[in-house]
Structure 1
Amino acid sequence: MSVLPTPQQNHLLAALPAEVQDRIFPHLELVSLPLGKVLYESGDTLCHAYFPTDAIISLLYVMESGASAEILMVGNDGLISVASFMGGESTPSRGIVQCAGYAYRLLGKRLKDEFDRHGELLHLMLRYTQALITQTAQTAVCNRHHSIDQQLCRLLLLLMDRLPDNQLTMTQELIANMLGVRREGVTEAAGKLQKLGVIEYSRGHIKVLDRPKLEELSCECYAIVKKEAERLLPNIYFPASGYSSE
């Protein structure tokens, strides 16, 4: 019998003071998020906020041609739908599940009501939003100026920070959509990493074998995003990795 995740497995929820948790937790709804599920499309009214526990959700910008690129990703470090408390109520991006798992869902109005108390949740969410802005800006810079090899390393590191171990299930097509590049480019970049012994890749399953080497091969973008997130949200955004690469 599998053990269902708890709200505390989401680091933002875990960081809230007890009195805020007491007000919010009774209204959280655990939902299963299968791979590829679209939580909302561009322009949709955002009725819920999602706090992932072991799933990873990407925000993608989709062009009229159908081409897409990832704007940012969220895992157990945060939440999807900052528009719920920032007043926007909608977004021009698509929210899609890139790694299957669970999340706790909360009505956007309840989150906004707590935000409007001007207490600890407000300060936490504003710092979290600033961290997301950094991730979004650095992703744009990385996609413009760095090689596919470096972009893939950055992406894998961000994914590993949000997963309980060093393995993930993700096809090359999904990775290509996230990076906004051709699938052939991802195939070539993944092949290089595998030859170097950094990853093991087979049929959509990726296992990171040498994280230090992966960080070495990545561009500076990953380190910048991580450093800023740790400054804004110490012990929340990027908890120490608890897995072994063995």
Structure 2
Amino acid sequence: MLCPTETTSTDNRLLSALPAEELDRLRPGLETIRLATGQDLHAPGEPISHIYFPHRGVVSLVSEVPDSRSVEIATVGNEGMVGVAILLGATTMPSRAFCQIPGAASRMAAGTFRTALDVNPVFRALLLRYVLALLNQVAQTAVCNRVHPIEQRCARWLLMTHDQVNRAPRFPLTQSFLSQMLGVRRASVSVAASTLQREGILRYARGIVTIPDRDALEAAACPCYGIIRAEFVRRAPRPRACAGPSAATPPRRGGRAQDRPR
């Protein structure tokens, strides 16, 4: 269910990076809403009605297969947007987008968005740079899911989500959900999470994750985290307002010593 919220469009880094006069042109077409956990933003093959610019929540992009399973191919937080098909001249996506962690977002009707792209080349150029970073995330996630062990993949996923919630002290997560996003059995995620907890890297209780040692979590992750974050940092301009830690802090290349390139 969508409901009004007091956050503003400048809580999204793409919008906050625009020159003030360019953002002012967009404001009449932006509506601030709240995304609920599990809420679909677009479905496979169905026309995309709105573009979303998350402020605080996190959106999962998942690819579905005929046996009803789904695997996450990318996530979108306040560094990005949902609905890139419209930007690229299409009207649908083969993937599903749904709210993973609830929070506020700015949304714009697809028709209004197309008009804004036509009259605002600065806006278009900014979003196209973001798409390059998003495509890198999709490709690197596919590599990660194929070649890295589950513990490292869990750590990479947790780091990315931690970034996208502005490194909040805690955020909601169930092991069932994480296993679905990684495309593995829940028992495998349970073993990986238990290992991280024993090492003091992660605390998990009643569906809430706390990360007490961010540096140790980065060391436990595969190098994919650093590769993905570096590309987002490289492609994204600095916002006019002070950025949160996930934008300002240079990404570390994850992976334990034996997994790092020599």
Q: Could you say which residue in structure 2 is the equivalent of 1:34?
A: 36
| Equivalent residue number for residue 221 of structure 2 | 218
Shift of 1:118: 5.7
Structure 2 gaps, min length 5: 250-262
Letter in 2 for 1:103: A
List per-residue Cα deviations over 1:2-21 (Å, max 9, x = no partner): 97211100111101112221
For the 8 Å contact 1:51–1:103, the answer to whether it is kept is yes
2:231 aligned partner:
228
Cα deviation, residue 57, structure 1: 0.3
Answer yes or no: is the 8 Å Cα contact 2:63–2:73 preserved in 1: yes
Letter in 1 for 2:107: R
State how many pairs are aligned: 240
Contact 1:85 1:108 in 2 (8 A): no
- Normalising by structure 1, we get a TM-score of 0.93
Query: What are the Cα deviations for residues 192-231 of structure 1, in whole angstroms up to 9, with x where unaligned?
Result: 0000000110111000011101111100100001111111
Output the TM-score relative to the length of structure 2.
Answer: 0.88
Percent sequence identity over aligned pairs:
39
Q: Is the 8 A contact 1:131 1:228 kept in 2?
A: yes
Aligned position for 2:75 = 73
Deviations 1:69-128 (A, max 9, x none): 101100111110011221111001111111011111101122222222362111101100
* Corresponding residue of 1:239: 247
Match of 2:114 among 112, 115, 127: 112
Equivalent of 2:52 in 50, 53, 58: 50
Q: Which amino acid in structure 2 is aligned with residue 217 of structure 1?
A: A
Specify whether residues 166 and 240 from structure 1 end up closer, same or farther in structure 2 by C-alpha distance, changes over 3 A only. farther
Question: 1:244 — aligned with what?
Answer: none
Cα distance in 2, alignment partners of residues 118 and 55 from structure 1: 27
- Cα deviation, residue 52, structure 1: 0.6
Match of 1:147 in 2: 149
Residues 6-45 of structure 1 aligned to structure 2 (within 5 Å): 6-45=8-47
Q: Distance in 2 between matches of 1:71 and 1:130?
A: 15
- Of the candidates 193, 196, 200, which is equivalent to residue 196 of structure 2? 193
- 2:206 pairs, out of 203, 206, 210, with 203
Q: What is the aligned partner in structure 2 of residue 131 from structure 1?
A: 133
Alignment RMSD (CA, Å): 1.6
Distance (whole Å) between structure 1 residues aligned to residue 119 and residue 130 of structure 2: 17
